[in-house]
Amino acid sequence: MTGRFVALEGIDGVGKTTLAGRVADLTYEQWLAGEGREPPGVVFVSRRARSGTSPFAATLMEHLAQMLWHSGDSRDLEPAFWVTLQASWFTAHSTCVIGPVLDSGHDVVVDGWYYKFWSKLLGQGFRRDDLETVFAGVREPDRVILLDADVAAVFDRRADFRPTELGLHAGYRGLDRDSFIDYQGRGLTVLREMARGLGWTTLTVTAGETVPETADYARTALRKALHRYA
């Protein structure tokens, strides 16, 4: 039986990676090593994970990862350039990272999918139809859980954001707290619209709650999405 695919989604810094690791039964690396294979559980697969089952795909994904996340930050290249790179990444990830895990019968939870990227692009004037064409090869999650939080509180909790997370490619003159709140707030508005239109589950993350508290109800939402223990 093929596993089910759930994505945690939300703005930069909301806690997707931390929560995905806490609600899963094992990591992608543990799955690759053969740990926890029986009975099938929930595997946390990082959205930036390279393939561990295809050396060929892993090599190409390493080049993509270098361009996407390890080449510095600059406005020299137009956003359209990054669109094609992101589409290539998520297509490879769908096929050669997530696919084998699901085929083994395990469920998968990822710490974000392409929706956050789309929410920024749509706010910059990109057309949804065009994005759908470019991302046509990307696997759609069976369920999406949106982590909804106050944008200012997210910034104040972490503050060390990359220029791209502060709005580098969106035309802001200064990259600071104000640009983060405006840029990420616009993206969150689009994500909320997606959640309503596509029937996502929305979890409100309050400023004062602890990670274990958030993880507790996020785990409940995940199990419900997977129809486990029903």
Quick one: what percent of the chain has pLDDT higher than 70?
A: 97
Q: What is the mean pLDDT of residues 161-182?
A: 91
pLDDT digits (tens, 9 = 90+) for 103-151: 999 999 999 999 999 999 998 889 999 999 999 999 999 999 999 999 9
Lowest mean pLDDT among 48-57, 72-81, 181-190: 72-81
Is residue 216's pLDDT more than 90? Answer: no
pLDDT tier at 158, thresholds 50, 70, 90: confident
Residue with the bigger pLDDT between 207 and 167: it is 167
CA pair distance 193, 141, nearest whole angstrom: 17
Structural domain boundaries in the chain: 5-226
The pLDDT-based confidence of 73 (bands split at 50, 70, 90) is confident
The architecture in CATH of the region 5-226 reads: 3-Layer(aba) Sandwich (3.40)
Average pLDDT over residues 214-224: 84
Share of the chain above pLDDT 90, in %: 74
Mean pLDDT on 176-192: 96
| pLDDT confidence band for 36 (50 / 70 / 90) | low
Predicted local distance difference test score (pLDDT) of residue 229: 40
Would you say 141 and 5 are in contact if contact means Cβ atoms under 8 Å apart? yes
pLDDT attached to residue 210: 81
- Could you tell me which residue, 136 or 73, shows the higher pLDDT? 136
